[in-house]
Every structure is written in structure tokens, then in C-alpha cells.
């Protein structure tokens, strides 16, 4: 069983347990609908800055994890959106991180988790998310269509993630408005940013294209921007940085 299968299996167990408890109470303030994708439509290349403590491939990334301070620093540094890991077993994430961060920043929040049940979509809204991640390698085309429709009704954006041509074709068939190409193969964890460069050519200009994983330098960002990428999702490079604002400024280079 590869790591993606292990995470998916663990998520099924977790969700069945969580479904026995009531959903979190609704937010006191109504969030703007589809603010995540609107934020990524601004001129230049947008930055989705990620908050995560650990990953299966790297282990613990941030021993010191002041996630609220990090979120505020990202917002002040000009992040278009913030990605928050909520998967607890493999990424040491928490729903609490997302709900508490929502109370501290105004930028759109992406719930970064392994969505396998519509319960998680409704849960995401209650936690304060503006967008959810839907992974083509985990979901069938029918599930993708169903979950996008549910998210649309709730005003949530969907970042539909693909890794290769077949998954990209699926994302386009289900009419994803935001497609994320993961440069990391979730089955082998090999990373190659040329994956985004190659697949960007297959995506219409009216679809927001996000490059994810393996983006570490301003040269990486510039290369992706020149290939027509609309946004980059950066996690480890920022989480390991002592001064995250300075690191984000360096990654921007002349691209912002």
C-alpha cells in the first residue's frame, strides 16, 4: 500500500468517527463566496502560503509551530491565500488550527486535507474555510462532480489537484475552475516542477492554474510565471524560514 492509500484509509476511519459528533457551530460572520479563486485572479503570480507542521516525506518540518503568528505574518507579507493542513495523523494538522486562524486573518483559507466525504465539505465551511482541496488520485470523476456541486452551493472554491495528463483531463472534464498541479507524485514523493510547465500548456487560460510542491527559489517562481502559471502554493520553503516575510519577498523576486 503506497502512502496515498494509507492516508486515504486513515481518513475514512477518522471521518466516520467525526460524523458521530455534531458539526462545529456556524461562523458568526458570513464569508464572501468564492473569495479564494477571486484572490488568485489578481495581476501577476499569486502566492498561497502554507501552514503545516509535518509531512510524510519530511517528518516534522516545524518544531516551533506558532501557527497564528505565522498566519498573520503571511497576511501582512501579501499572501493571496493561506493553506492550512488539517489532516492529523500524517501531517500533524488540526481542524482547530483552521478555525483559530480564521479568527485572526481576513485572507482566504484553503482547507488542506483529503476530502473523501461530503461531511468534510460542510465541516470546512463551519471551520471557516473559503476553499477545499479535491484530489483526482483519491476521488472518482463522479465524486469530483458531486463535491464541486456541493461546494458551489456553499460558496466554497475547489482546488482540484492533478499530477499527470490523465488526472488533468479528469479535472477539465468536471469543469474545475481552479486546477492545482502537484509537482510531487503522491505515490512515490518524487518532485519535479517541470510537471507544472508541461501540464500548463493543456489548460485553457480561463482556468486558474496553481503549481504546488518543490518551489524553493525565485528562479522556480519566475520559471513557472513565464510558463503561464497563475499561482504557486509554497509550504516547506516558508515553514523552514526563520523570517517568513523576508523569505516570501525573496521568492517573489521580480514576479510580484
Secondary structure in 3-state letters for the chain: CCHHHHHHHHHHHHHHHHCCCCCCCCCCCCCCCCHHHHHCCCCCCEEEEEECCEECCCEECCCCCCHHHHHHHHHHCCCCEEEEECCCCCCCCCHHHHHHHHCCCCCCEEEECCCCCHHHHHHHHHHCCCEEEEECCCCCHHHHHHHHHHHHHHCCEEEEEECCHHHHHHHHHCCCCEEEEECECCCCCCECCHHHHHHHCCCCCCCEEEEECCCCCHHHHHHHHHCCCCEEEECHHHHCCCCHHHHHHHHHCCCC
As a whole number of angstroms, the distance between CA 4 and CA 65 comes to: 25
Q: Hey, which residues are catalytic here?
A: 50, 52, 112, 161, 182, 212-213
Amino acid at each position: 500500500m503506497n502512502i496515498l492509500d494509507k492516508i486515504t484509509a486513515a481518513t475514512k476511519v477518522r471521518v466516520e468517527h467525526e460524523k458521530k459528533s455534531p458539526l462545529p457551530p456556524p461562523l458568526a460572520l458570513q464569508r464572501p463566496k468564492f473569495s479564494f479563486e477571486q484572490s488568485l485572479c489578481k495581476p501577476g503570480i499569486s502566492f498561497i502560503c502554507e501552514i503545516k507542521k509535518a509531512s510524510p516525506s519530511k517528518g516534522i518540518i516545524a518544531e516551533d509551530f506558532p501557527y497564528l503568528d505565522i498566519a498573520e505574518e503571511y497576511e501582512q507579507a501579501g499572501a493571496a491565500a493561506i493553506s492550512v493542513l488539517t489532516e492529523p495523523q500524517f501531517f500533524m494538522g488540526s481542524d482547530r488550527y483552521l478555525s483559530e486562524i480564521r479568527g485572526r486573518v481576513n485572507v482566504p483559507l484553503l482547507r488542506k486535507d483529503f476530502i473523501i466525504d461530503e461531511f468534510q465539505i460542510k465541516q470546512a465551511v463551519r471551520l471557516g474555510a473559503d476553499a477545499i482541496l479535491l484530489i483526482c488520485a483519491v476521488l472518482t470523476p463522479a465524486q469530483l462532480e458531486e463535491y464541486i456541486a456541493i461546494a458551489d452551493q456553499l460558496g466554497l472554491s475547489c482546488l482540484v489537484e492533478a499530477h499527470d495528463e490523465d488526472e488533468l483531463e479528469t479535472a477539465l472534464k468536471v469543469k474545475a475552475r481552479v486546477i492545482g498541479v502537484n509537482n510531487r507524485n503522491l505515490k512515490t514523493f518524487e518532485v519535479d516542477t517541470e510537471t507544472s510547465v508541461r501540464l500548463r500548456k493543456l489548460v485553457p487560460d480561463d482556468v486558474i492554474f496553481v503549481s504546488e510542491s518543490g518551489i524553493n527559489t525565485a528562479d522556480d517562481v519566475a520559471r513557472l510565471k513565464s510558463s503561464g502559471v497563475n499561482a504557486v502554493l509554497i509550504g516547506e520553503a516558508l515553514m523552514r524560514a526563520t523570517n517568513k516575510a523576508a523569505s516570501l519577498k525573496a521568492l517573489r523576486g521580480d514576479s510580484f
